[in-house]
């Protein structure tokens, strides 16, 4: 993905769906489907995702059964940050055409992640990964498989960080600064805030310009544009940084509808006047590539300029670079911040804190909590360390970028399109400025909760274990040990589950019997989905759960695991309670026999404090809510093979506790 400046993410107008529907009859009469499709694809190729969404939506309204139109609409809407619209059509495709469009599963995971629905996202990413992880068989999905695996870790990290979020209070700047379009690139000293903003001109055109707002007694006053000396007419100007007597900023020219090529300029304050802006030399502004997001400071007793660029010899996408320079603006050869900071994804908006030798930046790596997240990397032994996500609530499922601190270090600011940001008609289209007081934060104590460098290994592993709860496991009808009143079994849940999974074809055959056409296809998909997303997924989660338990035992932890069985109110209560107990017994056997008894000494341990301990607890059997599922064994299609009936045959690990 090409990223030339913040405008790719911020410069988004909206589509009024009601307006589309109103004009539908007029436009479609004037244009044939062929003409509409040509216009839509041309817009998409020009990366004008706003208009592409508009025209693909018209095509879907005209031909709602064409899956290609649905797919292209969902894709254009996703790239235009219309997540709800995209999610709707991807779900339609998943339900009806998942084999034709396999990547829909991946994008459903991505969209749920970007909405903060991390557990749902993990399920979709897991499903995509398991289905296409054989990259020799599916080479076209190799990159998405790799990305899906990383996204799973990102979602897990997000859930843990959210659970342990700091108490920092985030403030949203009011309309004196923020508008209904976008604000970003804050730079603040003791008395004023300089920032960039997209604003409409009198001709209703939109350009990025630089504004200033006075700051006094915790109040930001009405922002005013800088003079046309900096804010050149009909030019996108942004990303200001003041250092000594230098004013660094960028000018950008459009490449297509969403991409810009940017260059860094500098003006000097000499004899009480700013000099005419000069473009930095080609060593900094690499020809034909973007150089943007300048941040200058003093480091190692030298002047240093950090910036982001997609120039050659980087790690991929936008990278963070830096260069030293003297007071006459003679620049040394730029240095890539290295593979610990940069990745194949985009790293942008650097801010360097020389007091702590710490580089802050944003990245859209799959390890983020959604979109761009703010990370920091510590300079140690002549290199930057692996980055640390600064966590919730500073980061969010949305784009969080341009982290910076005021020159007195009392206020930290950043830009985000999170919920609560101002917009004209499409939520999350545009970025606003946010801030928090560093004196109120954990940041000044360097104890902010972050992933994955927590020192307490036990707590870190236990947090991962908690993510799996509640963990639901499913059974075939009357298993294990059918037609008995025993409350224990010698069967292991792993074996029970393996036999259950082998019955998938039988379930498909019985549940789809007598059906034809789309009804038959729907019934088959329902069974396949249940076995993949419930039975198989549940066992995979159980394997992770056991592995984390083993890791905790290696660290001498004491963990309580609470299990619960469920029975249906439609059959004999006494029989179903015993059946539920047998099912819990099969789960106990799984833990007893895990890796040839690896966990057994910890389960049996009651007094030895030199090793870990697992406490398995059975909660009272719970009754499922009244169900309309048939309990007539003569109607096996609905009482046994229906996915609705199968979903009721379950037990759960409902809680875990670190003692």
Residue 214: strand pairing partners: 192
Residue 569's pLDDT band (cuts 50, 70, 90)? low
Residue 447's pLDDT band (cuts 50, 70, 90)? very low
Phi, psi of 113 (to 5 degrees): -60, -45
Residue 352 reports pLDDT greater than 80: yes
Task: Identify the pLDDT of residue 23.
Answer: 47
Helix (H, G, I), strand (E, B) or coil at 224: strand
Residue 598 reports pLDDT greater than 90: yes
Same-domain pairing of 433 and 519: no
The domain boundary, picked from 432, 451, 470, lies at: 451
Task: Identify the pLDDT of residue 427.
Answer: 79
Mode of pairing for the β-strands spanning 302-309 and 291-299: antiparallel
Task: Identify the pLDDT of residue 255.
Answer: 87
- Report the CATH number that the domain containing residue 380 is assigned in CATH: 2.115.10.20
Same-domain pairing of 637 and 568: yes
8 A C-beta contact, residue 315 and residue 344: yes
Task: Identify the pLDDT of residue 229.
Answer: 84
Same-domain pairing of 437 and 524: no
Same-domain pairing of 534 and 423: no
- Alpha carbon 199 to its chain's center: 29
The domain boundary, picked from 400, 434, 451, lies at: 451
Least confident of 309-313, 393-397, 575-579, 581-585: 575-579
Same-domain pairing of 462 and 567: yes
8 A C-beta contact, residue 544 and residue 461: no
Least confident of 38-47, 200-209, 221-230, 547-556: 200-209
Per-residue three-class SS string for 225-290: ECCCCCCCCCCEEEEEEEECCEEEEEEEEECCCCCEEEEEEEEEEECCEECCCEECCCCCCCCCCC
Q: Which domain holds residue 348?
A: 171-451
208-237 mean pLDDT = 91
8 A C-beta contact, residue 182 and residue 408: no
630 inside domain: yes
Please provide the DSSP assignment of 95-112 as one string. Answer: HHHTTT-THHHHHHHHHH
8 A C-beta contact, residue 280 and residue 264: yes
User: How far is residue 553 from each of residues 80, 143, 448, 455, 590, measured CA to CA in Å?
Assistant: 47, 36, 27, 17, 17
Same-domain pairing of 384 and 486: no
Residue 265: strand pairing partners: 249, 279
**Count of domains in the chain?**
2
35 inside domain: no
Exposed, middle or buried by CB within 10 Å (0-12, 13-18, 19+), for 114? buried
Return the percentage of the chain with pLDDT > 70, whole number: 90
Residue 451's pLDDT band (cuts 50, 70, 90)? very low
Same-domain pairing of 432 and 468: no
Q: What average pLDDT is seen over the chain?
A: 89
Same-domain pairing of 465 and 446: no
Helix (H, G, I), strand (E, B) or coil at 215: strand
d(CA 489, CA 546): 20
Same-domain pairing of 473 and 602: yes
Same-domain pairing of 626 and 484: yes
Task: Identify the pLDDT of residue 369.
Answer: 97
480 inside domain: yes
């Amino acid at each position: 993905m090409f990223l030339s400046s913040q405008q790719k993410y911020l410069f988004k107008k909206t589509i009024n769906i009601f307006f589309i529907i109103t004009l539908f009859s007029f436009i479609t009469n004037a244009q044939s489907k062929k003409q509409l499709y040509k216009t839509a694809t041309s817009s998409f190729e020009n990366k004008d995702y706003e208009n592409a969404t508009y025209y693909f939506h018209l095509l879907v309204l005209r031909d709602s059964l064409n899956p290609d139109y649905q797919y292209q609409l969902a894709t254009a809407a996703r790239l235009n940050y219309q997540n709800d619209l995209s999610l709707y059509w991807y779900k339609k495709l998943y339900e009806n055409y998942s084999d034709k469009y396999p990547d829909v599963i991946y994008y459903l995971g991505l969209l749920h992640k970007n909405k903060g629905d991390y557990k749902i996202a993990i399920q979709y990413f897991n499903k995509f990964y398991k289905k296409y992880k054989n990259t020799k068989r599916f080479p076209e999905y190799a990159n998405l498989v790799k990305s899906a695996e990383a996204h799973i870790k990102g979602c897990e990290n997000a859930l843990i960080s959210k659970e342990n979020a700091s108490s920092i209070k985030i403030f949203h700047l009011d309309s004196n600064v923020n508008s209904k379009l976008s604000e970003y690139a804050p730079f603040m000293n003791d008395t004023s805030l300089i920032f960039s903003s997209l604003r409409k001109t009198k001709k209703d055109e939109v350009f990025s310009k630089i504004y200033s707002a006075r700051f006094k007694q915790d109040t930001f006053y009405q922002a005013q544009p800088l003079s046309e000396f900096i804010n050149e007419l009909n030019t996108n100007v942004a990303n200001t940084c003041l250092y000594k007597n230098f004013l660094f900023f960028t000018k950008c020219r459009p490449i297509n509808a969403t991409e810009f090529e940017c260059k860094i300029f500098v003006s000097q304050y000499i004899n009480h006047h700013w000099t005419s802006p000069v473009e930095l030399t080609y060593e900094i502004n690499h020809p034909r590539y973007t150089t943007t997001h300048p941040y200058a400071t003093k480091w190692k007793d030298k002047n240093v300029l950090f910036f982001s660029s997609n120039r050659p010899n980087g790690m991929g996408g936008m990278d963070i670079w830096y260069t030293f320079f003297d007071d006459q603006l003679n620049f040394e050869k730029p240095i890539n911040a290295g593979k610990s900071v940069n990745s194949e994804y985009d790293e942008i908006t650097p801010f360097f804190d020389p007091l702590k030798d710490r580089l802050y930046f944003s990245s859209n790596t799959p390890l983020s909590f959604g979109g761009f997240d703010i990370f920091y990397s510590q300079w140690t032994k002549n290199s930057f360390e692996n980055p640390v996500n600064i966590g919730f609530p500073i980061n969010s499922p949305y784009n969080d970028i341009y982290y910076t601190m005021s020159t007195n270090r009392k206020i930290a600011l950043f830009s985000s399109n999170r919920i609560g940001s101002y917009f004209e008609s499409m939520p999350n289209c545009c970025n606003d400025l946010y801030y928090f007081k560093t004196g109120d934060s954990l940041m000044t104590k360097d104890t902010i909760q972050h992933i994955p460098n927590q020192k307490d290994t036990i707590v870190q592993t236990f947090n991962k274990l908690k993510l799996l709860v509640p963990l639901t496991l499913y059974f075939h009808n009357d298993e294990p040990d059918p037609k008995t009143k025993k409350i224990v079994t010698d069967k292991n849940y792993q074996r029970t589950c393996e036999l259950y999974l082998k019955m998938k074809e039988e379930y498909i055959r019985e549940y789809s019997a007598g059906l034809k056409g789309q009804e038959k296809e729907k019934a088959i998909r329902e069974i396949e989905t249940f076995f993949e997303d419930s039975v198989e997924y549940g066992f995979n989660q159980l394997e992770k759960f056991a592995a984390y338990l083993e890791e905790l035992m290696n660290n001498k932890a004491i963990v309580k695991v609470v299990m619960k069985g469920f029975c249906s109110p439609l059959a004999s209560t006494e029989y179903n309670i015993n059946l539920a107990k047998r099912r819990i017994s099969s789960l106990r056997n799984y833990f007893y026999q895990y890796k040839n008894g690896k966990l057994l000494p910890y389960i049996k341990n009651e007094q030895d404090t030199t090793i870990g301990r697992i406490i398995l607890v059975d909660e009272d059997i719970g009754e499922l809510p009244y169900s309309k599922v048939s309990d007539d064994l003569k109607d096996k299609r609905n009482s046994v093979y229906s996915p609705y009936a199968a979903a009721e045959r379950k037990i759960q690990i409902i809680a875990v506790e670190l003692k």
